[in-house]
Amino acid sequence: MRKHLRSNIQWELLLDYAQFGCRNRSATASHFGNLFLENPDQVQLRKYAALKVYEELVLATEDLCMLYFALRDRDDVPPLERLLTFNVDPKKSKVWHDELGGSDEIVLGRLGYLDGSGRLRGSWNDPQIQVKALLTAIDAMREAASDRVVADGVLVRALNKLKYGFIATSLGHYIEAPASPGQNVAILYLDRDLGRLNRFVVEATDQKVSEMNGYGRFACRRRAVLACVFHQGPPPKPLGWPASRQGLQNWQALTSAPVRCAASSASRRGWLVAGCNPFPSLQNEQSPRCSRAL
């Protein structure tokens, strides 16, 4: 299996991952965000939609974690194999958070974007543009890692209740005043340290759903940036750099043809073209700050 995953099919699938797979969370969150906004009088429906947006937001942090370890461990395990087999747990989330505490250069080097001299791998007209996009992506990873470990991982624990049983309630006595029960939904979980039932409250308001939706889209775009730049650069030898002439031609065909890149949303299109800047509209984009209290 590993020999197969080290072949050129890996790069074809990673390209598809950058084009299609990275948009999954963003597209789903946008759909439920629109459903929320288009039904201002249906309280229950809006709560369901808000929970789905929240779920996609937390899952987007998990996707970033998986991609980090897939790139970090590329010398030992093909990235595609790592993406297909990796499971995120609290211990790995903490390792991820701690390793992202290093300098930007250390993190980019660990992920395979920089060569031994600290330069961006691959041929670029203006490498600084790509480096800036990557640094923004690393900042998004740091925020996502912080979200996963904050308050002993309460965001993830709440998500697990939605994934494995959907324990949520809109009962008024689970919502603290002055918050309105009609605009909040509580996810219940067992707090073993305190020995009691606890709750995590998701705000079903226009502002909060819009904020969660925007944060989720940003995380998905950053994931696409990481995948696109890594795919466009030359694959490191341990990943199976094609030694044959046919293998090299296959690799060049994958990276030279202009293809649509998922680093853009529906209203912001980008293109992945070898040697060109695929993210012209992301040069000045800053990471949106998502408040920890959802």
Which tens digits make up the pLDDT trace of 196-207? 888 889 999 999
Q: Is the pLDDT of residue 83 over 70?
A: yes
Domains held by the chain: number: 1
DSSP state of 289: P
Q: Is residue 169 part of a domain?
A: no
Helices (H) and strands (E) in the chain, counts: 10, 5
Judge whether 291 lies within some domain.
no
* Domain presence at residue 201: no
7 Ramachandran zone, left/alpha/beta (phi>0; psi -120 to 50): beta
**pLDDT > 80? residue 57:** yes
User: For 255-287, what is each residue's pLDDT tens digit?
Assistant: 333 322 222 222 222 212 222 222 233 333 444
Pairing of strands 196-203, 259-261: unpaired
On whether residue 270 sits in a domain, the answer given is yes
Burial label for 83, CB within 10 Å (0-12, 13-18, 19+), is: buried
Residue 84 lies in a domain: yes
Domain with 275, as residue range(s), is 2-145+206-282
Mind listing the pLDDT tens digit for each residue in 207-265?
A: 999 999 888 888 888 888 888 777 665 443 333 333 334 433 433 333 333 322 222 22
- Residues in a beta bridge with 236: none
> What type of residue sits at position 215?
Y
Determine, yes or no, domain membership for 10.
Answer: yes
Residue 47 lies in a domain: yes
Give one DSSP letter per residue of 200-238, joined into a string.
EEEE-SHHHHHHHHHHHHHHHHHHHHHHHHHHHSPPPGG
Give domain status of residue 167, yes or no.
no
